[in-house]
Amino acid sequence: MARHRASGGIQMSRQITLAVIGLGSMGLGMARSALKAGHLVRGYDINPGVLETFRNEGGEVAPTPAAAAAGADIAVVVVVNAAQTQAVLFGEAGIVTAMRPGSVVVSCATISPAEAKSFAERTEAAGLLYLDGPISGGSKKANSGELTFMASGSTEAFEAARPALDAMAGTVYQLGEQAGIGSSFKIVNQLLAGVHIAAACEAITFAKSLDLDISRVFDVITKSAGNSWMFENRVPHVLEGDYTPHSAVSIFTKDLGIVSDIGRAQKFPLPITAAALQLFIMTEAAGMGRDDDSSVARLLAQIAGLQLPGMPDKV
């Protein structure tokens, strides 16, 4: 089941107190969307600068995840990986012991289905609801409240999370009642996203090797059958020489690593995923792990002795 709302508008629901844990490129936009919807929003992040930004925009800030979530109806956890999710949920300053029974945790990180099931069981044992709610759409859609949620959980969890979903999502897929289903859908998405990014970077760098005007290549390919969402979204970063991390290389080292681990456990061959994963690992090993994932193009250019925009001049 999928629920949609009109693009560009906030669907108003009852005002609630909402905590957003992790104000990175996605979380900050999600918190802003909740503020626009009229909710009281508390944010937590390890970066003092982003906390100050959020405070200046009308949000409340908290010194720990537990302080952000204390008394909140909904806590949306938008961190990087399973280790960070576990620490936010169950660590020394974790949110699970700070929230009222019957409130809901929406977990948005890309993690393995097994980890999602484990976190749900532990959260529900503490008297809370848990929504396995990975997201897709990028920072722009986070800011406009138009993310896609690939979510699974109980009917009660969806209902409790509805005010946050209404504020943050353009489309919510209700994919089942068990945690782990949402994460399974997201990991399929990440397989495709990572492969498409790697292919886009390879294609635009190959075009450079042919001495083509890569801006012209971008124009032609985006109107042709070889286009993909990732080609259209990531290649402009290469053309501009701007590798500001809207989505970092290390994200796909992690996510394609999860795909690879699942495939190995199931004895399912993933040869294209494996090739893309190695490109991200190589790019991270070359010192670009925190840069935009389109940095795969820079790695290939370095190997081939090519000059892309933003790269230092060859001596």
Active site residues: 186
Residue 229 in tokens? 């969402």
| Spatial distance between the Cα atoms of 31 and 155, rounded to a whole number of angstroms | 24
Output phi, psi for 3, to 5 deg.
-120, 130
Contact in structure between 106 and 166 (CB atoms under 8 Å):
no
Nearest of 280, 129, 100, 260 to residue 202 by alpha carbon: 280
Whole-Å CA distances, 54 to 50, 160, 244: 6, 25, 20
Contact in structure between 179 and 120 (CB atoms under 8 Å):
yes
Strand partners, 130: 105
Whole-Å CA distances, 103 to 30, 42, 61, 156, 306: 19, 15, 20, 10, 54
Contact in structure between 114 and 258 (CB atoms under 8 Å):
no
Place of tokens 């759409």: 137
